[in-house]
Amino acid sequence: MKTAQVIMDTGTHAAALAVKSARVDVIPGYPITPQTSIMEAIAAMVESGEMNARFIPMEGEHSVLAAAVAASAAGARVFTATSANGLLYMHEVLHMASGGRLPVVMCNVNRGIFAPWTLWADHQDSFSQRDTGWLQYHCSSNQEVFNTILQAFRVAEQINIPVMVNFDGFAISHCLMPLTLPPQEDIDRFLPSHEPEWRLDTAQPSSFSNVTMAAEYAPFRQMLSDDIMAAIPLVKQAAQEYKDITGMWDGDTIDTYRLEDAEVVAFAVNSMAAELRLSVDILREQGIKAGLLRPRLYLPFPAEDIINALPQNAQVMVLDRNYNFGHPGGILASELKNVLFGRRNDITVKNRVMGIGGIDLTRRFMAAEIRAMMDE
């Protein structure tokens, strides 16, 4: 039996290796910082024959996702990746992918949005695509990116809904971290080949997405909404089975740290949530019973798991790396209040926006912010 291999690798290259391990058929791509190196790595592996797949160099992200959904409709397993304005440029096709029930998996390497021009991490890009009908994971480490791409394919293909795997530009995408690569046969056991129930098949001519009257359109939309909610147990099952096979665990819908007895709970996603573990340790040393709750799955929003995990009477400090324009504060805080309302009246929610455009979020800075929020 082969054993796992441990290497040092960047987040983007870890993503490319996950795509190879998932035996993806088609990868349309287009460069955008900080995602570009995923496509470069895939193009190189396809050219060298290391991957038995097609890399299609497209002329823009709108076309990237159009090629991706069409290839998926033809029956292929499809991956692509983007960032920031590239994701926004795809917006129309994001809706087509989910409405068309095409299980594409895409990495979005989080980056602030133009204008003004910025290159560095914040979460306005992925959160602003909230209502497009995609599942969204947000990852905190290179290993989690690798693991989550494989889990994402499994869930996407079970329910025919596309999945976005998000992680921060530079802090994750361009940083070297240890990466454990499970043996390929373990991955094949976890993620069997893609056998879609439906595809464009000349033996069975059928129409896809022609004019649909309200009597049929409304049930299609209801099914999509229901099936997105039904993803939560599948996300948990995928995480558990991945753990059973590979021994690796990043949390399922949520990830927690020192949460059980916490009175103050940091609530955030992505790389800042990894750093927040250290902030929690600092606060604990200062005698504050701090903990962390990180929603690994942003959509569907894991309401029940959050409600069940939060300790009694906790103060939840939501650290948002985005703005909820038109409301004070950020999007995560709004989402959290939405699920707590009427369910957990013992919880207090406080919110700060920070780290916009890639401002560095250190463990000490965030610990100090949380302390300050306690006094508000």
Partner 1 sequence: MTTSIKKLPDTELVLSGNGACGGCPATMALRIVGKALGSNAIMLLTPSCSVASMGMTPKLGYNWPCINITFATAGSSASGITHALEIMKENGRLQGDLPTVFAWVGDGGTYDIGFQALSAAAERNDNMIFFCYNNEAYSNTGVQRSGATPRGSFTTTTPTGKRQPKKNMGLLMLEHKIPYVATATVAYPGDLYDKVVKAKNTPGMKYIEILAPCYLGWQFDMSDTVQMSRMAVRSGAWLLWEAENGSISFNNPSSHIISGKKVAEPVDEYLMKQGRFNRLLKGSDAQQRIAEIQGDIDHEIAFMRERKKITI
Residue 56 amino acid letter = I
d(CA 165, CA 38): 13
351 three-state secondary structure:
strand
Does 59 bind partner 1 (CB under 8 A)? Our answer is yes
Does 52 bind partner 1 (CB under 8 A)? Our answer is yes
Does 264 bind partner 1 (CB under 8 A)? Our answer is no
Decide: 355 and 121 in contact? Cβ < 8 Å: yes
Interface residue with partner 1 among 205, 287, 326, 342 (CB under 8 A) is: 205
Does 75 bind partner 1 (CB under 8 A)? Our answer is yes
Residue of 56, 61, 177 whose CA lies nearest to 125: 61
Cβ of residue 73: shortest distance to partner 1, in angstroms? 6
Site string for partner 1, 165-204 (x = CB under 8 A): ----------------------------x------xxx-x
Decide: 69 and 94 in contact? Cβ < 8 Å: no
| Both structure tokens of 86 | 């590239």
Stretch that binds partner 1, among 51-59, 114-122, 287-295, 304-312 (CB under 8 A): 51-59
d(CA 70, CA 78): 10
Site string for partner 1, 22-41 (x = CB under 8 A): ---xx-x-------------
Cβ of residue 310: shortest distance to partner 1, in angstroms? 41
Q: How many residues bind partner 1 (CB under 8 A)?
A: 44
Interface residue with partner 1 among 48, 115, 117, 213 (CB under 8 A) is: 213
Decide: 139 and 167 in contact? Cβ < 8 Å: yes
Q: Indicate the residue among 53 and 254 with the shorter CB distance to partner 1.
A: 53
Q: Indicate the residue among 131 and 360 with the shorter CB distance to partner 1.
A: 131
Cβ of residue 78: shortest distance to partner 1, in angstroms? 8
Cβ of residue 31: shortest distance to partner 1, in angstroms? 14
Q: Indicate the residue among 115 and 215 with the shorter CB distance to partner 1.
A: 215
Q: Indicate the residue among 54 and 258 with the shorter CB distance to partner 1.
A: 54
Cβ of residue 26: shortest distance to partner 1, in angstroms? 5
Decide: 254 and 296 in contact? Cβ < 8 Å: yes
The contacts of residue 70 (CB under 8 Å, 6+ apart) are none
Interface residue with partner 1 among 22, 67, 149, 165 (CB under 8 A) is: 67
d(CA 17, CA 26): 15
Does 66 bind partner 1 (CB under 8 A)? Our answer is yes
8-state DSSP, 311 = P
The contacts of residue 40 (CB under 8 Å, 6+ apart) are none
In order, the DSSP letters of 2-69 are ---EEEEE-HHHHHHHHHHHTT-SEEEE---TTTHHHHHHHHHHHHHTSS-SEEEE-SSHHHHHHHHH
Does 7 bind partner 1 (CB under 8 A)? Our answer is no
Does 312 bind partner 1 (CB under 8 A)? Our answer is no
Does 214 bind partner 1 (CB under 8 A)? Our answer is no
Decide: 314 and 264 in contact? Cβ < 8 Å: yes
Q: Which residues of 73-103 are buried (b: 16+ CB within 10 A; e: fewer)?
A: beebbbbbbbbbbbbbbbeebbebbbbbbbb
Decide: 4 and 183 in contact? Cβ < 8 Å: yes
Cβ of residue 69: shortest distance to partner 1, in angstroms? 7
Does 219 bind partner 1 (CB under 8 A)? Our answer is no
Interface residue with partner 1 among 5, 184, 209, 348 (CB under 8 A) is: 209
Does 207 bind partner 1 (CB under 8 A)? Our answer is yes
Does 1 bind partner 1 (CB under 8 A)? Our answer is no
Does 81 bind partner 1 (CB under 8 A)? Our answer is no
Pairing of strands 254-257, 290-295: antiparallel
Residues that bind partner 1 (CB under 8 A): 25-26, 28, 52-54, 56-60, 62-64, 66-76, 78, 92-93, 96, 193, 200-202, 204-213, 216
